[in-house]
Amino acid sequence: MRILLVLGILALGLLQPCFSQPMMPAAAIDVNQLGFYPDAPKYAVINRPAAKDVFFIVTVGPSTTSWSEHVDTVFFGRLGPVLSSANSSLSTRIADFSGLHRPGIYRVVIPGFQNSYPFVIGSGVFSPLTSAALKGYYYQRSAMALTAPYADKWARPAGHSDVQVLVHASAADAARPEGTVISATGGWYDAGDYNKYIVNSGITMGTLLDAYEDFPGYFDTLHANIPPPAGVTQGVIPDILDEALYNLRWMLLMQDPADGGVYHKCTNAAFDGMVMPGVTKAPRYVVQKGTAATLDFAAVTAQAARIFRRFGAALPGLADSCEHAAVHAWQWAQKYPDSVYDQDALNKRYKPAITTGAYGDRSFNDERYWAASELLITTGDASSYVATVRAYYGISISLPSWAYVAMMGDFSLLRHASALPADLRGVIDTVKQGLLIKANDYVKKLAGTAFHTVMGESKSDFVWGGNSIAGNEGMFLINAWLQTRDPAYLDAALTNLYYLLGQNATGYCFVTGFGSHSPMHPHHRPSVADGIAAPVPGLLVGGTNPGRQDRQTYAYTEAETAYLDNDQAYASNEIAINWNAPLVYLAGALEALQYTAGYAQPGQTAPAAQPAPPARRLRPCRIP
């Protein structure tokens, strides 16, 4: 069978024309495959030379019978000028149909090309996406059985209970010598693997908690069909906080109660194979306490303390426990300001060697700044934290990432500016100015980009997990909008969501289970091993990555085309908790703001889309 498959591939290859330039994806019309708000900007991108400079938007009815050639043309426009991409050998033209406002289901049609994937126009178009992206965390839960009422066909037994985790030699001290058994149960699997990392949980939790703090009204009512915490009535805790709480409780177990330090990760010595969670029974360890992990923990628990205080009746004592844990962690980090988790060095000293994700970080000023900002806001203790905020504010206006979290402190200081000491006004003004300078740079470059999106304004956007950059740029721009109410920032943020949903050089909607053409084979152990054809839904894959560190064979290798939907292509097709978080923020923020921003009016819902047969050519159109 394998030989026949190879021969078939070779035969197909012989039928392909030769190109002097790298081969490009086959789809000619790249469009956001979910939909658009009625009064928001709307674009499709044409990545091939077109015989005519016109395009049409045609209706697609809510029943399968209306997918015929007999359709209504509702909009006509002319393609924009040719734009050469800075990230591949593609040239594009933009089809701008912002003037179409009527709710419905549509396609883009261009003579000579296969029609675009269908999309809707209507209010609330990204709410199912937000819900599914949030529920992606439920499918990542460790130590909990996922049951059918919530997990549907992806139900599975609990994996990795982690109630008997060993203290690794690198983490041993007098109170907890090597081999001490502790509990580190719960939490989320980090990515396509089954380990749990404090540093990456830090940026993930901070982003989800930011989403709630910025848009509590929307997230109070967003339902993702996840079970409530034990002993809490369904609906008392918003689903976004319910999900965050599941990981927060694991994080609290990762703190050594004796000294406040936080273990870097809970892990196998080596990665599990491509099996379901809990199949393997390898020992699990907590490893060295580190400054990065401890400060990330301090920031998250400080932010959680002020958020969960509102839910004290349902979760008595939680807010106080979080605040105490945050202060204790801060004190440890003050005592050990430069404890680097250097996995290679540790493996030369201690056994067993640990070869899972390192999340190594050697610079901690950004973590200090974030933690001090959150602790200042939560505790009001200026004497303990203002000096650190003053020392490190403005160190760099850079997108949040697991390795660089200073912007998380900026977001929180701006959000709570009115409650901060008056003598920090200058700090706040400087932070705001830096945010807006970078946001203006994003907006200024947008019009000249080949795919009309902020994502890809620099080739450095296309790296391992680059889709999280698209999400974080969107989050950044929404924060600029929150400071100014300038619609240009929100319009720019929209383009990055469009990118993730199909307006990109690959033609993929990068979220599993969404759109007409989305990843079917993510590097995600449950999706590979569960025997179900469809992958776990709501997960954002990493996206194009010309580095191709997985050493798989990619058909396309340029910066914005180097993507492979293969479960071994972890450099472009893995999933990760820190990539889903800005997707939740971006999609949820746009849903929360759609009416305020004038993108939609209540009641402008589109008809429900039905499963569609493949796109087909229309009869030739009469060109005006």
Measured between alpha carbons, how far is 584 from 29 in angstroms, rounded to an integer?
26
Alpha-carbon Rg for the chain, nearest whole angstrom, is 25
Count other Cβ atoms within 10 Å, centred on residue 138. 23
Q: Which residues pair with 49 in a beta bridge?
A: none
DSSP state of 100: -
Contact predicate 224/243, CB 8 Å: yes
Q: What is the DSSP string of 380-420?
A: --HHHHHHHHHHHTTS-----BTTB-HHHHHHHHHHTGGGS
User: Counting Cβ atoms within 10 Å, is residue 20 exposed (0-12), middle (13-18) or buried (19+)?
Assistant: exposed
- SS3 of 456, please? coil
Contact predicate 492/441, CB 8 Å: no
Measured between alpha carbons, how far is 581 from 491 in angstroms, rounded to an integer?
20
DSSP state of 148: H
Q: Going by C-beta distance under 8 Å and a sequence separation of 6 or more, which residues neighbour residue 385?
A: 372, 373, 375, 376, 379
Measured between alpha carbons, how far is 411 from 409 in angstroms, rounded to an integer?
5
Locus of tokens 């504010």: 393
Measured between alpha carbons, how far is 31 from 46 in angstroms, rounded to an integer?
9
- SS3 of 620, please? coil
User: Counting Cβ atoms within 10 Å, is residue 37 exposed (0-12), middle (13-18) or buried (19+)?
Assistant: buried
Token reading at 60: 């697609």
Measured between alpha carbons, how far is 293 from 607 in angstroms, rounded to an integer?
47
Active site residues: 193, 523, 565, 574
Cis peptide bond N-terminal to 128, omega within 30: no
Q: Is the dihedral of CA 217, 497, 461, 82 positive or negative?
A: negative
Nearest of 347, 434, 436, 424 to residue 387 by alpha carbon: 424
Locus of tokens 């019009």: 447
Measured between alpha carbons, how far is 209 from 406 in angstroms, rounded to an integer?
16
Q: What is the DSSP string of 269-337?
A: SS---SS-TTS-----EE--B-HHHHHHHHHHHHHHHHHHGGGTTTSTTHHHHHHHHHHHHHHHHHHST
- SS3 of 52, please? coil
Token reading at 414: 């701006």
Token reading at 137: 């965390």
Measured between alpha carbons, how far is 245 from 205 in angstroms, rounded to an integer?
9
